Amino acid sequence: MKWKGLLLAAGIGLTGLGAWWGYSYLKPTEATQAAASPVVTVQKGVLEVHVSGTGSIEPAAREIVKFSDNRTIAQVHVAEKEEVKAGDVLITLEAEDVSDKLRVQELNMEKKQLELDELQKKWDEAADEDVRESLTVSIRKQELDMELNQLEIDALVEAQVAEVIKAPADGRVQGIEVKAGDVINQSVNLLEIVDYSHLQMKVNVDELDIAKVKLGQAAEVLVEALPQQSYTGEVTQIAEEGNSTGGVAHFEVTILLKDHTGLKSGMSAEATIQVEQKADVLYLPITAVQSSQNQYYVRVPQNEPASGSTDDEEDTANPAQDTPGSEEVQAARAERMRVAGAEGGGSGMGTGAGGGMRSLTGKQPGSGGMTAAAGQGMQVMVEVGVHNEDFIEIISGLNEGDLVQLPVTASSSAATPMNAGMGGLFPGAGGGGGAGLGGQRARPDGMGGGN
């Protein structure tokens, strides 16, 4: 019996040991319960806000040449792809044989003149004022008829002369549709004059961004076929009316290129319009700033209070939910892109606000390997200014060099920064299937850039 008791005691001991081991192995530690939060540093630099879109290179001007009357072509003076100047003769039309028509109108004019003379004579001989008044009206009617008759005579005289069609502008002749002997009318396109010496591109800008675009703003144009080159342009036209697609309005913006060396009409390109630039500003990644009820705040490590804040600012907003923040227009864009991302895998619309940061310190805001326990940060209220899709200006509440925690979302494997890779206030930006809202790309000047 003694050995049975020993076995029972040993079994109970092993069971307790196994339970303790399982509890110790499966129980989340404080380190796993409080996921690590990446920490970024407040930097100072130049904040650029851009609006971008895609389109194709095209000639800045093209004119379709027509003629408003039925005539026969006597001679075509230009060839396909020939360069012409405004006023150059393009086509000569045959003179019309209108001698019979002209004789009829001349006889008609002579007859009307005789009738007018007779009316004038009656008016001179009339003694009654009522009769004279009636004759005055008749005389005026006759004079008007004779004026119309003279216009017809003049047109017939002109038709007897070989008329010419001249170039309406400088450019290259394209698409000649006629030859000598063809009879033309106003519905026939004779040819086209295309100005390839001035190139432009048109982009569609989202309704949430169009108010930022102004005439004369500078634009950078990157061409897909020439990835090593960058072109500059200027906004020359902004559409007054938008085109609605899927409930979203887009406005056509025309950008005239200042240099077009190596470019061909039809090449695909992306234009980035600089709508705002601010120097010597404090900035953070846009994901670091959160909002609640139109108030903005960040979280700083408990042992690293923000030098630009006070104790009174801690937990003043106490929002129920921490979300990346901006103004109403960004909220509208975020909702739109959330829906688009849910329906189409985050495909972009090809236009949007974005930008790039050029730091005066030569650094980009980043964690530098530093982390802090999630949920342990102290809340600091901040005032924000301009932003692009990656960075946001900090007007007050923080100083250069302050540490700020990035929001995280916990997962079964590890914690990840909130909206990581999603452009902060623009969820779904830069998603697959198209150019996202202000997708990040390198600037040719090597300074880092925005969309």
Checking if the pLDDT of 423 tops 80, the result is no
> What CATH number is given for 34-57+200-417 in this structure?
2.40.30.170
CB-CB contact of 225 with 88 (8 Å): no
Residue 29: pLDDT above 60? no
Q: What is the pLDDT of residues 138-153, one digit of tens each?
A: 989 988 999 998 998 8
* 361-383 per-position pLDDT tens digit: 334 444 444 444 445 678 999 99
What whole-number distance in Å separates Cα of residue 436 and Cα of residue 422?
Answer: 10
- Average the pLDDT over 228-240 and give the result: 94
Q: Which carries the bigger pLDDT value, residue 368 or residue 27? A: 27
Assess contact for 392 and 70: CB atoms under 8 A.
Answer: no
Report the pLDDT value the prediction gives residue 94, as an integer from 0 to 100.
Answer: 79
Instruction: Assess contact for 324 and 290: CB atoms under 8 A.
Output: yes
Measuring CA to CA, which residue among 272, 292, 250, 275 is closest to residue 386?
275
Break the chain into its structural domains and give their ranges. 34-57+200-417, 67-93+168-189, 99-159
* pTM for this model (two decimals): 0.55
pLDDT of 25 reads: 53
Beta strands at 191-206 and 43-65: parallel, antiparallel or unpaired: antiparallel
Reported residue count of the chain is 451
Name the residue with higher pLDDT: 4 or 69. 69
Q: From CA 408, how far away is CA 418, in angstroms rounded? A: 5
> Whole-number mean pLDDT of the chain?
74
pLDDT at res. 319: 38
β-bridge pairing 391-396 and 290-292: unpaired
Predicted confidence band at 129 (pLDDT cuts at 50, 70, 90)?
confident
pLDDT at residue 154, as a whole number: 85
